[in-house]
Amino acid sequence: MEVKIYTDGSSRGNPGPGGYGTILQYTDKNGRVHRRELSGGFHTTTNNRMEILAAVVGLEALIRPCHVDLYSDSQYLVKAVNDGWLEGWIRRGWKRGKDEKVKNVDLWKRLMTAMEPHEVDFHWVKGHDGHPENERCDALAVAAALGDGLPEDEGYRDN
């Protein structure tokens, strides 16, 4: 099964409110394309947390192992996976340098768990470059960020 996930996060001013938008797109055995939109948000959060969470919720929504192409406009997210930053942080006890802790460890660990059963290729898509799925994800993220009744992101205080 061919699966593509398009993600975007929005902090709408840092700190928050923040939201994430994710579009899960797959082709069934009959060749029909299906899309599922996922979004959510927090009153107070950071943009990086939303970008990571947008990828996590897309991967967690998959029922069976498959090959996934994940598109994100977050260079930070894509480089962390593709350039081996995660492995380096793990080796150093989740530290960037000697004393500087990695932020958002809870979400990075959740991302690694969500990736485990799948073969995932991360692709950087420059924001607002005309990809309709990326633009729709951005719209979902903004709507989630501007929504009423959003909870506070517990992880924000740890950053």
Average pLDDT of the chain is 91
pLDDT digits (tens, 9 = 90+) for 13-36: 777 789 999 999 998 889 999 999
Task: Indicate which residue of 19, 41, 138, 155 is catalytic.
Answer: 138
Confidence of residue 158 (pLDDT cuts 50, 70, 90): low
pLDDT at 152: 86
* pLDDT at residue 86 in the model: 96
51 noted as active-site residue: yes
73 annotated active-site: yes
One DSSP character per residue, the chain reads -EEEEEEEEE-SSSS--EEEEEEEEEE-TTS-EEEEEEEEEESS--HHHHHHHHHHHHHHT--S--EEEEEES-HHHHHHHHTSHHHHHHHTTSBSSSS-BPS-HHHHHHHHHHHTTSEEEEEE--TTSS-HHHHHHHHHHHHHHH-SSPPP-GGGGG-
What is the C-alpha separation between 7 and 52, in angstroms, rounded?
A: 9
Predicted TM-score (pTM) of the model is 0.93
Q: What is the pLDDT of residue 159?
A: 56
- Residue 60 is predicted with a pLDDT of 97
Question: Is 67 designated active site?
Answer: no
Confidence at 59, pLDDT banded by 50, 70, 90:
very high
Q: Is 123 a catalytic residue?
A: no
Could you give the domains of the chain?
2-158 (3.30.420.10)
Catalytic residue (choose from 51, 58, 153, 155): 51
The answer to whether 158 is a known catalytic residue is: no
Per-residue pLDDT tens digits for 73-129: 999 999 999 999 999 999 999 999 878 999 999 999 999 999 999 999 999 998 777
Strand-strand pairing, 18-27 and 2-10: antiparallel
